[in-house]
Chains A and B, each alone.
Chain A
């Protein structure tokens, strides 16, 4: 590829030539060329203050950056926890087979698709998820590869389609709310929006069409809620575009008969003409309709997610009308910074990013620093594979997070702040960018906010893909334009952080709860929860529950209440086995201990951790050794590589776990694994390494017999492919469906006879079992 140096020069002029501009520069170059061409990087080295060593060090550190050209389309297979337990690896393998990729190859021979695994797309309730460019497919199975690629071709051609204008009546008959969180968008809410707009337009209805943020009920997306002027609102779940017309017309009447008729005729014609009814690929399951699920929402207390499903994320007037910015006004105009910090301290809120450091104390530490220049950072680098709280909060409640940040800045004396947001969350970045512009226009940010004399600037910094950057010192290194290497604390960022200045780093969710505390008073907040854990916590509930989604629950709720009452129990009648709480830093708590209270101390006692709030439910088909292996493969990949115990310790633990899942482990290996886990915990530099062994230690503690079975070459749940074989039982009717699905021709074509599987050819992709109509495939 030839590089146009004018473009690079333009990028440099725009982003700057200092080291802190390095990551934005690289992001811009990659956006232009889809990878980082060497000539471009050399140009950057020659025309900036940044050295080639720094450029390559950074470019090779963050997973977002590619140093090799990629195909025309990026195909990302999410291998987050929820997707993993639902067979993401098989899906990944299926796509690789389709593209005929060998060894390290990632791009198909024609250069059309580049496939990669991503740690989490934040659509856990649609697992397993595949994303091609901007189109997301949920509930993917191995035999849908062709259909998905075909559908993608169709989607591409749909671009530039006519957009329908929104109806604008004087007499509002009601409101139609469409969820526009990432899950909803991924599941097709944009098509729904178009269909609603079209219907409303065609019928000339006088209704308000409203885009709302995440409702939290991601297991039911896409969601459409119809709120008539009179009567009860109705929530429609898993809506298909072709359903829209029926839904809308059942609630609202067209203004005149003629129009109604026209509408009907037109739609009949359309019905006949189009066959593209979107059936090829299941982006969702059956269209079940239900009223708002009381049990799903009943146990929840929305604080960070206040007014969810009701407010348009970017409508500032609406946010204000629901009490938005009153806390900020109160803090800035009526309270001293110390009073604000005091209130936060009294509320008992602790950091929602995982470690649970008391927020008030952190604020106090920063406030105490005499420096003129202090920074504030909102940590939105949610890298936990199986968590999407930050994404949802940023997408759905941008003003609430901003409000919390301004209050924090006022209390601690910060003049400049950053949103650090994962680059994998483009929607969140876009929403925050727009929200910041609107706030600035409304004097809610910038100079002399609301006439209080307090000034505060906020900017966005897009992360480039490194889980370790969730660790605050690594995050700071990243904003400074370095590799995301953590450093030892002390000094704490509160004393010496970004560019050596005192820096307040709080998690997105923490900031999202601040306005409530100031507005309602600490007492309102600290009456919720238990002794040392106050208030509420947002969790991403996913995995094998019937109803997954974003939930906000009071601290002290039990695991069982979450799984049974909110999650609706285990899906498909399977047995509840364990919950994985806290992602790669957390642990697995077995079903027997499901009465454990969810609070910081109890979870640590159980060998898990609050972590950032991923809560993945596992059933009796999940192999705990595989789960441990899965998390270790994640942390091993995400280890920054700086300190010995994490860099090599996680790799060696993974080696042992892999040999267990292959049935090659030796008797002494479990003890060695446990010892190594303990030393990695003790000897690692930062939180990533110190907590990486938790998934191993907790599963060893509660499921040791499963490990021992693997020592004997048996995987009790049949998950570890090296330890299982596929065979056909007598239920077989010789229908050849499995034969047709088998990608490696391991099942001979023998119609009307019992089929056989040639074990030596079988790649255990599970396609035959899924295809079999009579449950004749055994896995042992």
Chain B
């Protein structure tokens, strides 16, 4: 180790990661975020700013350090105004990436849009007709005027999709039985199959679809729409065995023949009760994160847990259980679909409308012609453009989000006073600046200084009210010229981000 190597660098060389938001390789330490705290003989210190010397006895993680980092993150989150995932996505029981779907529609990319949708929702054309759309209730655009017509856009994508957009992984040599071919079962089988698990659907009815086929009128959900999306599921290699009521004897046989069983039998009936799985008269009892039942290797999803009119919830659970089942099959710790941390700030304020509309178009919600037809292409594009891009551009590479999830930080803990109002700055064509997401790590300030930007960025003010901005309130394209993309890439959060296309 060369002399002067920091404790942080030394520890990272050992393959141990330590959160450090204000630290950038190749630049002098700034000691701002204070998340890299480690201990040497009981004394906490920021590892990014202290040179490693022999004789140190560094502890990189213990209860006190965890609490320090968690508290630090919670303090940062308390003034971090921004949504990671958009509110619609958080509200969607299947957590579909709605804003991304919208942007792809607005760009005329139906295929790609469908691929995004199908990552979470296996039956978009079906749900696009029957879903009560909790997403639209959470839509920020609703505060401005009317929610984006998300459900109909999803229907548009589902209807427009012709080919199956997702690749199926090669077989991993495992078999899973899914009992019940309603929305939950179809989804579970589909996502298992995509991951290389041979999924077989059993249903007492002749055709798959469950209540979608029996409880919904034809004029609401034309059967050809349902059939087409079921075909897409089966097209991935999922086997369907109809006319097969699964009683306790068959159930036991499935347990013997298959590596795992997913119970998706719909509202709890006597047949399912005969499986002898723990539950109440209202439904089976499962682990809420993993859908494990009282019996190892048996999972349960959908209305069998609790009767619900929300098909999208069942579809979502089908997607989620696939994670648990796969973990079970791989003999990993069963934790279900990884849940990521989500920063949220609640409703938009009046003065934020204009900020959010900078990335959108004005105008009321588009209404398709009467008679149950969906959006025309033009109308779909127009409607999709109404989306406000509430999701953060740093959604996949935000260190604050990553570590907040890791240390299970609560954003609410220190929300002891009102939040700041969001602003969005687009004066530079390459990047976006949202100061209220800034954690004042000073990386951008130091980089613009290093690259000798004429104006660059600087700290303005001090204390809690300090902000990072251009001197003399110069526009962003003056502050950041050639360096803007590099500076935005170095931002540990979504405050400065490259203005991506989709």
Q: Which residues of A does B touch, CB under 8 Å? A: 38, 41-42, 45, 51-57, 60-61, 466, 483, 487-488, 490, 636-645, 647-652, 655-656, 658-659, 672, 675-676, 679, 682-685
B464 touching A648 by the CB < 8 A rule? Answer: yes
A637 contacts which chain B residues (CB < 8 A)? 463
Asked whether B32 lies within 8 Å of A644 as measured between CB atoms, the reply is: yes
Q: Which residues of B contact A675 (CB under 8 A)?
A: 71
A53:B414 contact, CB within 8 angstroms: no
CB-nearest residue of chain A relative to B459? A57
Q: Which of A57, A650, A679 contacts B460 (CB 8 A)?
A: A57
Contacts of A684 in B (CB 8 A): 34
Structural contact, B463 and A644, CB atoms closer than 8 A: no
In the complex, the chain A residue whose C-beta lies closest to that of B49 is A488
- Does the CB pair A42–B472 fall under 8 Å? yes
Does A641 contact B461, Cβ atoms closer than 8 Å? yes
| B461 cross-chain contacts in A, Cβ below 8 A | 60-61, 641
Given contacts A53-B471, A652-B75, whether A643 and B460 have CB atoms under 8 Å apart is no
Minimal Cβ-Cβ distance residue in A for B28: A487
CB distance from B202 to the nearest CB of A (A): 51
27 residue pairs from A and B, CB less than 8 Å apart? A52-B456, A52-B472, A53-B445, A60-B459, A60-B462, A483-B462, A487-B31, A488-B50, A641-B461, A641-B465, A643-B31, A643-B32, A644-B34, A644-B75, A645-B75, A647-B440, A647-B463, A647-B464, A648-B75, A648-B79, A652-B414, A655-B416, A658-B417, A676-B414, A683-B34, A683-B72, A685-B34
Contact A640 B31 (CB under 8 A): no
B409 CB to nearest A CB, Å:
12
Nearest chain A CB to B397 CB, angstrom units:
21
B172 at the interface (CB under 8 A from A): no
B305 on the interface (CB 8 Å rule)?
no
B472 to chain A, nearest CB (A): 6
Residue of B nearest to A62 (CB): B462
Using known A-B contacts A53-B457, A643-B31, A644-B33, determine if residue A650 contacts B72 with beta carbons closer than 8 Å.
Answer: no
User: If the complex has contacts A641-B462, A642-B31, are A648 and B455 also in contact, measured as CB distance less than 8 A?
Assistant: no
Residue-wise, chain B 439-480 has the 8 Å CB interface mask toward A (1 for contact) of 110100100110001111111111111100001101000000
Q: Tell me the count of chain B residues lying within 8 A, CB to CB, of chain A.
A: 48
- Contact among B76, B417, B456, B459 for A644, CB-based, below 8 A: B76
A676 partner residues in chain B, CB cutoff 8 A: 71, 414
Is B37 close to A, CB under 8 A? Answer: yes
One of B31, B417, B440, B455 near A52 (C-beta < 8 A): B455
Q: B466 to A53, Cβ gap below 8 A?
A: no
- Kindly state whether residue B44 has any CB partner on chain A within 8 Å: yes
User: B70 to chain A: closest CB distance in Å?
Assistant: 10
Tell me if B78 is interfacial: C-beta within 8 Å of chain A. Answer: yes
CB contacts (< 8 Å) of A655 on chain B: these are 416-417
Q: Is the CB–CB distance between B68 and A682 below 8 Å?
A: yes
B68 pairs with A679, CB closer than 8 A: yes
A-B CB proximity, top 9 nearest? A655-B416, A641-B466, A53-B458, A56-B471, A52-B471, A648-B75, A651-B464, A57-B458, A639-B463
Q: Is B46 an interface residue (CB 8 A)?
A: yes
In the bound complex, what is the Cα–Cα distance between A684 and B439 (angstroms)? Answer: 15
Q: Which of B75, B462, B471 contacts A639 (CB 8 A)?
A: B462
From B71, B79, B414, B457, A683 is in contact (CB under 8 Å) with B71
Q: Are B46 and A685 in contact (CB under 8 A)?
A: yes
Q: Which chain B residues border A672 with CB–CB below 8 Å?
A: 413
Chain A residues, Cβ within 8 Å of B33: 643-644
User: What does DSSP make chain A's interface, helix, strand, loop or mixed?
Assistant: helix
Q: Are A641 and B463 in contact (CB under 8 A)?
A: yes
In the complex, how many angstroms separate the beta carbon of A559 from the nearest chain B beta carbon? Answer: 31
Q: Besides the contacts A641-B440, A652-B78, A685-B31, what 8 more A-B pairs have beta carbons closer than 8 Å? A: A466-B462, A487-B49, A488-B45, A488-B50, A636-B464, A641-B466, A645-B72, A683-B68
In the complex, what's the smallest C-beta–C-beta distance from B38 to chain A, in angstroms?
12
In the complex, A60→B78 CA distance in Å? 24
Knowing A483-B462, A650-B464, say if A38 contacts B472 (CB, 8 Å).
yes
Please report the C-alpha to C-alpha distance between residue A658 and residue B44 in the assembled complex, in whole angstroms: 30
Contact of B463 among A52, A54, A636, A685 (CB under 8 A): A636
List B30-72 residues whose CB lies under 8 Å from chain A.
30-35, 37, 44-46, 49-50, 67-68, 71-72
If A38-B472, A679-B68 touch, whether A51 touches B32 (CB-CB below 8 Å) is no
Contact present for B31 and A488 (CB under 8 Å): yes
Residues of chain A lying within 8 A (CB to CB) of residue B72 = 644-645, 683
Instruction: List the A side residues contacting B32 at CB < 8 Å.
Output: 642-644
- Give the distance in Å from the alpha carbon of A54 to the alpha carbon of B31 in the complex: 19
Check B462 against A640 for contact (C-beta < 8 Å): yes
For B50, B78, B79, B466, the residue with the greatest tally of chain A CB atoms inside 10 Å of its CB is B466
A52 to B471, CA, bound (A): 6
Judging by beta carbons under 8 Å apart, are A648 and B76 in contact?
A: yes
Q: Mark B412-448, 1 if CB is under 8 A from A, else 0.
A: 0110110000000000000000000001101001001
- Which residues in window 198-240 of B have CB below 8 A to A? none
Whether B458 pairs with A649 at a CB distance below 8 angstroms is no
Least CB distance, B67 to chain A, in whole angstroms: 8
B residues in contact with A643, CB < 8 Å:
31-34
How close is B394's CB to chain A, nearest CB, in angstroms? 19
Given A51-B449, A56-B471, is A639 in contact with B464 using a C-beta cutoff of 8 Å?
yes
Residues of B within 8 A of A649 (CB): 75
Q: Which residue of A lies closest to B73 (CB)?
A: A644
* Complex alpha-carbon distance, A60 and B468, angstroms: 11
Taking the nearest CB of chain B, how far is it from the CB of A547, in angstroms? 36
Residues of chain A contacted by B67 (CB below 8 angstroms):
679
Q: With contacts A483-B462, A640-B463 known, is A55 near B34, CB below 8 A?
A: no
In the complex, chain B residues whose CB is within 8 Å of the CB of A682:
44, 68
